[in-house]
Structure 1
Amino acid sequence: MKKIFLIVLLLGTALLQAVAQQDAKAESILNKMAATYRQAGGISLTFGGTQRGKLLLKGNKFYLESGGIQTWFDGKTQWSYVAQNEEVNVSTPTPEEVQSVNPYALLTSYKKSFNYRYVGAKTRQGKRGQEIVLTPKASQDVKSITLNVKENGSPVYIAIQLQNGEKQEFQISSYQTGVNLPDATFRFNKQKYPQAEIIDLR
């Protein structure tokens, strides 16, 4: 009986060590990705997957064009323009809401808000990267986030699984850093959309 208990104890210790190593590996990859992002300046990327689109990033600001919707976020205010309705919704989103639109927002909150584990090396659309799964520590709309990252810290694939079963997938097709992006890039310009009806939800 003691022998069986000892085997179980040893196996349990080995599993705990393996989990700890995986978490350390995941944290190392996330730290590198976050550092690469901070040093990149302006970023321009295009993606396919659930929808095709373009994403411009600088610090905590972003511009997203996808599925007939354009979204600007200047770090505080968000504008979402629906071309079909010629409407602009203006809001002050929560960090969780920003994260569901812009996956890069998690790079400033993963240590505080997420548990994460290293899954292993995986190939996505012919590109090989290290894969990590993040799950929120507190209940929110996001159930999990899967990241596939190259050795240089640039993303290959991002998937967001929501609690309602919906899944958003981003296959990164092009990725440029050091792009000159003025702050005005991340604000809605009324002059360019004179017919748009502005709906202030703040």
Structure 2
Amino acid sequence: MKKIILMAILTGSVVTNGVAQARGSLGVNDPKAKSILDNVSKKFSTLKSVVANFVLKVEGANNSVTDSKKGTVYLKGAKYKVNLDGQEIISDNKTSWTYAKDANEVTINNVDQNSTALTPAKLFTNFYDKDYLYRLDGESNEKGKILENIEMTPTDKSKNIFKVIVSVDKKNQSISRMKVYEKNGNHYTYEITSFTPNTNLTDATFVFDAKKYPGVEVVDLR
């Protein structure tokens, strides 16, 4: 379950029914939704780095809550690091490391530049133009924030994910929440609780240093 939780963020695996399916069959995107997403992407491109805290809630079919975790994501360009309850996923955009604390094991892979996986870095860029169809699904007032909710469906219908709802803070033009829906009835809510831009992050943040993990078992799949 822990691995499922963390990978839910990273594989878009963090991105239908009725109207959405009809819209998708026509291949038409909503210009209002595009404008909102473009503004988020444009704002993020001006930032040198980001540190964001989040809560990830996993719910099974029939809205049964099965797990909830707190985590932190560090972003610098296409590089990222995610800390989540004894797990770490690190990428310098060439190599990725997935570390499991309970097993003291790290798995190393090459980064597939052609992958459509929704990584934390992609979440704040214009990934949506290539891999998703999207429409504005109204606004909601939550905890004093006006959220613009955008429904997204993958163009690749073979994906396990069939729908993603991205909620954008209308005032700050930043992503506040993402809900990922799987075909098996499970869904994941990725909610950002704090967002700190332009933090001083060195490139070493985005490389796994085995010396800091005594006795770590390395599984190199490159």
Residue 54 of structure 2 aligns with which residue? Answer: 47
1:165 is displaced (CA, Å) by 3.2
Q: Distance in 2 between matches of 1:129 and 1:90?
A: 38
Q: Distance in 1 between matches of 2:185 and 2:97?
A: 26
The reply on whether 1:128 has 2:122 as its aligned counterpart is no
| Structure 1 stretches of 4+ moved >6 Å | none
The reply on whether 1:109 has 2:116 as its aligned counterpart is no
Q: Which amino acid aligns with 1:165?
A: G
Structure exhibiting the larger radius of gyration computed from Cα positions: 1
Structure ranking higher on relative contact order (CA contacts 8 Å, 6+ apart): 2
Q: Is the 8 Å Cα contact of residues 88 and 198 (structure 1) preserved in structure 2?
A: yes
Aligned residues: 182
What is the TM-score with the length of structure 1 in the denominator? 0.81
Q: Is the 8 Å Cα contact of residues 138 and 149 (structure 2) preserved in structure 1?
A: yes
Distance 1:87 1:182, change over 3 A: same
Residue 149 of structure 1 aligns with which residue? Answer: 168
SS in structure 2 of the partner of residue 179 of structure 1: coil
Q: Which runs of 5+ in 1 are unaligned?
A: 1-15
Residue 182 of structure 2 aligns with which residue? Answer: 162
Q: Is the 8 Å Cα contact of residues 147 and 167 (structure 2) preserved in structure 1?
A: yes
Q: Is the 8 Å Cα contact of residues 103 and 158 (structure 1) preserved in structure 2?
A: no
Residue 203 of structure 2 aligns with which residue? Answer: 183
Distance 1:168 1:67, change over 3 A: farther
> Which whole-Å deviations, capped at 9, do the CAs of 1:80-101 have from their partners, x for residues lacking one?
110000000111354334x1xx
Q: Is the 8 Å Cα contact of residues 165 and 178 (structure 2) preserved in structure 1?
A: yes
1:33 is displaced (CA, Å) by 0.5
Q: Which amino acid aligns with 1:192?
A: K
1:76 is displaced (CA, Å) by 2.1
Q: Distance in 2 between matches of 1:108 and 1:81?
A: 28
Q: Is the 8 Å Cα contact of residues 79 and 121 (structure 2) preserved in structure 1?
A: no
RMSD across aligned positions (CA): 2.3
Distance 1:166 1:201, change over 3 A: farther
Q: Distance in 2 between matches of 1:60 and 1:201?
A: 21
Larger helix share, 1 or 2? 1
Aligned match of 1:28 in 35, 38, 58?
35
Q: Distance in 2 between matches of 1:134 and 1:103?
A: 16
Moved more, 39-48 or 142-151: 142-151
SS in structure 1 of the partner of residue 44 of structure 2: helix
Distance 1:37 1:108, change over 3 A: same
The reply on whether 1:81 has 2:99 as its aligned counterpart is yes
What is the TM-score with the length of structure 2 in the denominator? 0.74
Residue 20 of structure 2 aligns with which residue? Answer: none
Q: Distance in 1 between matches of 2:76 and 2:198?
A: 10
1:145 is displaced (CA, Å) by 1.7
Residue 7 of structure 1 aligns with which residue? Answer: none
Q: Distance in 2 between matches of 1:77 and 1:163?
A: 30
1:65 is displaced (CA, Å) by 0.6
Q: Distance in 2 between matches of 1:60 and 1:168?
A: 23
